[in-house]
A and B are shown apart, each in its own frame.
Chain A
């Protein structure tokens, strides 16, 4: 199934959408769901779900609760829950997730870890440490 604009462009005020034709550089942090159709260089970190479109080129370490990837990611991917790699996806980097679904045609060049701890640890790091007196 193609991961095209028609499904990606639906959004509401709570969701961050980076459209095709837009480049992002830096430390991209979000509390909500994120849809990326453009290009990103740096770091992507969200407490919500992440969708990366088929035209996207990402050069970044990626951390999210759940993710669906159809584009190219150069960097390590750490997902607390489920990661879906669609047929057009190309991953160059290590992948850690609790559950992984890989469609035929997807390319993964890296180490895959599925012990369920890496993703949870990464998400925990997002939460502020409780103050101890």
Chain B
């Protein structure tokens, strides 16, 4: 049984035609299901949990990264498969997973190439993609063994699933997260260059005297102390043949 969760952002006239095409294609492929429409005051979590209790085995986010995040937060049962039909802007995760925009995603969904992926967790808040922070100078303790500190304010990224020309792909099936810190350096020849620190890890504690704002898959999380760890093989998600993380 499939549940299709339509984000509020795709329910306007702009996506009316595309949604009609998607619904037709899903029927043709024999994978149509119940449609749940998210709205401002409708609790996505309760709605999705109710449907899982009624026997839904696949929950499909129709929208963008934020829609996928809402679905992921609601699906606690690892036996339930998650998928995305990307529509509109802000679909980085779908791109990395190899799921094309719009109606073409229906065929990827039908092929049902399901992968078990790691998640990351920051103070209990789960993420699939990455965590970022700018202009920070924290003490970062890895695996409880050693502490790393930058000499100057730096930017940091903690990646689980990512593609990047600069740092390569982050593999969400390796049981590790990837810590990347860019520390500015002064040079006489070039005004500003950045030195890059890169540490694969399973557990990281971040401590800072200053308040830090983390962007956790696009959501803000403020604090001075953060406990970050990998949650191996936590979700089952539909991916495309053209996925970019391996």
Contact = CB atoms under 8 A, between A and B. Distances in A.
A11 B148 CA distance: 18
A114 interface: no
Nearest to A23: B149
A81 interface: no
Interface size class of A (residues with CB under 8 A): 20 to 34
A15 B200 CA distance: 8
Contacts of B198: 11, 13, 15-17
Interface in B181-210: 181, 183-185, 193, 195-200
Contact of A26 (B145, B150, B183): B145
B80 interface: no
Given A12-B168, A13-B169, A14-B200, A22 B195 contact: yes
Interface in B129-180: 141, 143, 145-152, 167-171, 174, 178
Given A12-B168, A27-B145, A29-B145, A21 B195 contact: yes
Given A19-B196, A22-B181, A25-B149, 13 more contacts: A5-B193, A5-B195, A13-B170, A13-B200, A19-B195, A21-B183, A22-B148, A23-B148, A23-B149, A27-B146, A37-B195, A38-B197, A42-B146
Interface of A: 5, 9, 11-29, 32, 37-38, 42
